[in-house]
Amino acid sequence: MKILITNAIIYTLIDNLVVNSMAVDNGKITAVGDNLDNNIQFKKYKQINCKGRVILPGFVDSHTHFVYYALSLGRIHLSEKDTLRVCLKKISKFSKTLKKNEWIVGEGFSPDRIFAKDEPDRFMLDRVTSGHPTFIFSKDEHLVWVNTKALEIGGILTGNASPQGGEIVRLFDGTASGILKEKPGYDSVYEHIPYPSESYQDKSYKEALDIAYRKGVTGVHSFDGSKAFEYLMGLAQKNKTGLRFNYYSPPSLLPDLIKTNTVYGTGNDFFRIAGIKIFADGSLGSQTALCFNKYPGSKNNYGIETISSRKILAIARQASKLGLPLAVHAIGDKAIANVLDALEKAPKLKSGARHRIEHLQMIRRKDIARLRKLNIIASMQPSHCPSDIDLINKYWGLRGKNTFTFKTLLNNKIDLTFGSDVPIEPLNPIDGIAAAVRRARRGSRKTFYPDERITILEAVKGFTVGAAIASGEEKYRGHLIPGYPADFVILSEDIFKVAPSHIYDIKVLATFIDGKVKYTDCAFRIK
């Protein structure tokens, strides 16, 4: 289909090039410029008059668990603001909607909030879950609250040891309390939760796609597990992913990837293999992010090292056979230092791919130079910043100046890419842009380390150009110029000209992928 976008303000994100029209043919941009509607070459194109609206490249969320997010839409959702009493009341109500022996699976509670007054345990859940095995993630999904039946199914109700890289919190009698930390700690239970039916997956996935389109998302970097990989592969074979996916595999799939010679970039325009995702530590909210200093009030808690530098290096060497980079979850300063120690010794990637550190929430200033020297991508989630202000002040204190160092990283010429970490934070790039620019909670003027604020343009690039750089696609993604896919969004206001506090109010009026309309707001109809 041939379309001509006219009467628009099109930010191409190439230097300062802003034009008012753009031609699209067969999903590709063929021309950008001013008043192309006066050019006889485009007389037969279908014209879309944007009435002075702003157009940007489509947003790409560089850190999602998209399939997991889709599946979570039908589960119980607690709030980080919920008290223990409210959590239990919601769980009790939800349990009554389920069939016999069906699992209660959910997420969202704040350990910091409910642990402050009470220590949640399995007995509390037993009283409100009507015999249903129960598994509920905290908001950051690094800590899990389960009931007795779930512990029995997982075979970890009794015992003494905790698995390496995780923790099974135990009561004075040696039985599990119901609190499990990190994947090695909860996996023995989680693996028993029945995987949803294909029809449920399809329904949930479509719902997640619709949400993505409404938020202007045209692509994602996905850190889903092996079952999700199978599902996405099935969609890709039918050309039904609906978004452009860069998939980062868990290390458990590496042997299969090597066996099938699945090298970096294997795939097509809508699904490609981009790297291997591993975890170096936990999270701040669960006090499992690995730090050089112990957590205040604890006897000896420095967080959890979920994987050693030695093992990170071993995985990097194995992945390098396929040219695959690592995307390493590292939140605490010690975890980040461990990752850098490993990657300093890792083989250079001949594919041109680049390693990434995901989250990079607290980094020692002296490690920034190492980050730059190794040419590592800083993959960060700006929406975590306002959400974590209280936690940072409580657990990291003055080291907060070393957190979410957006401006410092850019000043050191380190490439940034931005995401949401959905479902941890909402899938909403515009909110992420606002968070990076403001570094304050919505509605608040209290800025968190204001020197680390960045410009609106820098934040927008984090969700467009930066995402393309992070996945090695900068030569054909992230800009609106001839030869690039016609992935773009139409906004209600000029994001570069509104006050930072009003960025949140900007709406996505339309989302296009490959020149095809995926979403239009009721206030903006395309004829």
Is residue 380 in some structural domain? no
Average of per-residue pLDDT across 159-179 = 91
Q: Measured between alpha carbons, how far apart are the two ends of the chain, in Å?
A: 14
311 domain-assigned = no
Nearest 10 degrees: Cα torsion 75, 272, 322, 255: 40
Q: Number of helices (H) and strands (E), helices first, in the chain?
A: 17, 25
How far apart CA 423 and CA 77 sit, in angstroms, is: 11
CA 312 distance to own-chain centroid: 21
pLDDT for the residue numbered 527: 64
Per-chain mean pLDDT for the chain: 96
Is there a single domain that holds both residue 81 and residue 183? Answer: yes
Predicted pLDDT at 526: 75
For 115-119, 156-160, 249-253, which range has the lowest pLDDT when averaged over its residues? Answer: 115-119
Q: Identify the band that residue 80 occupies on the pLDDT scale cut at 50, 70 and 90.
A: confident
Does residue 46 sit in the same domain as residue 137? no
Q: Taking residues 453-468, report their average pLDDT.
A: 98
81 domain-assigned: yes
The verdict on residue 385 lying in a domain is no
For residue 404, give the amino acid letter.
F
Mark whether 26 and 102 lie in a shared domain: no
Asked if 173 and 144 sit in the same domain, the reply is yes
State the CATH number of the domain containing residue 493: 2.30.40.10
3-state secondary structure (DSSP) of residue 4: strand
The encoded tokens of residue 262 equal: 């699945």
Per the domain annotation, does 460 fall within a domain?
no
Helix (H, G, I), strand (E, B) or coil at 112: helix
Better-scored residue on pLDDT, 351 or 360? 360
As for how many domains the chain has, the answer is 2
Answer yes or no: do 20 and 109 share one domain. no
Helix (H) or strand (E) holding 46: strand 46-49
* Rounded mean pLDDT, 184-212: 96
Residues 90, 166 within the same domain: yes
- Please, what's the b/e burial string for 378-392 (b: 16 or more CB within 10 A of its CB; e: otherwise)? bbbbbbbbbbbbebb
- Provide mean pLDDT across the span 495-510: 97
Q: Let me know whether 97 and 151 are in one domain.
A: yes
- Among 190, 205, 231, the domain boundary falls at 190
- How far apart are alpha carbons 416 and 343 in whole angstroms? 18
* Cα–Cα–Cα angle for 403, 420, 503, rounded to 5 degrees: 85
Has residue 428 been placed in a domain? no
Beta strands in 398-513 (DSSP E): 416-418, 488-491, 508-513
Q: Indicate left, alpha or beta for 13 from its phi (over 0: left) and psi (-120 to 50: alpha).
A: left
Helix (H, G, I), strand (E, B) or coil at 89: helix
Give residues with Cβ within 8 angstroms of 511, minimum separation 6. 58, 213, 214, 216, 217, 218, 489, 490, 517, 518, 519
Q: What is the CATH number of the domain that holds 184?
A: 3.10.310.70
Tell me the residue range of the domain where 126 lies: 76-190
Both 173 and 86 in one domain: the answer is yes
> Which amino acid belongs to residue 211?
I
Shortest CA distance to 331 belongs to which of 304, 358, 302, 312? Answer: 358
| DSSP conformation letters of 12-37 | --STT-EESEEEEETTEEEEEES-GG
Q: Tell me the two tokens of residue 338.
A: 């461990």
What DSSP line would sit under 116-148, residue for residue? TT----HHHHHHHSTT--EEEEETTSSEEEE-H
The C-alpha atoms of residue 274 and residue 219 are separated, in whole angstroms, by 13
Phi, psi of 373 (to 5 degrees): -60, -35
Distance CA 61, CA 217 (A): 7
**Residue-by-residue DSSP string for 314-362:** HHHHHHHTTTPPEEEEE-SHHHHHHHHHHHTSSPP-TT----EEEE--B
Same domain, 111 and 185: yes
Q: Residue with structure tokens 């594919």?
A: 351
Same domain, 186 and 105: yes
Residue 326 within a domain: no
Q: Is 109 helix (H, G, I), strand (E, B) or coil?
A: strand
- Given 190, 212, 245, the domain boundary residue is 190
Whether 88 and 173 share a structural domain = yes
* Least confident stretch, 132-141, 221-230, 396-405, 518-527: 518-527
Q: Which helix (H) or strand (E) holds 170?
A: strand 167-170
pLDDT band at 1 (very low <50, low <70, confident <90, very high): confident
Predicted confidence (pLDDT) at residue 173 exceeds the cutoff of 70 = yes
Q: Check pLDDT > 90 for residue 465.
A: yes
By DSSP bridging, strand 508-513 and strand 516-520 are antiparallel
Same domain, 122 and 41: no
Query: What band does 162 get if pLDDT is binned at 50, 70 and 90?
Result: confident
- Summarize the confidence of residues 355-368 as an average pLDDT: 98
Residue 279 in any domain: the answer is no
Query: Does the pLDDT of residue 114 top 80, yes or no?
Result: no
Instruction: Give yes or no for residue 159 having a pLDDT over 90.
Output: no
Out of 168, 190, 212, a domain closes at 190
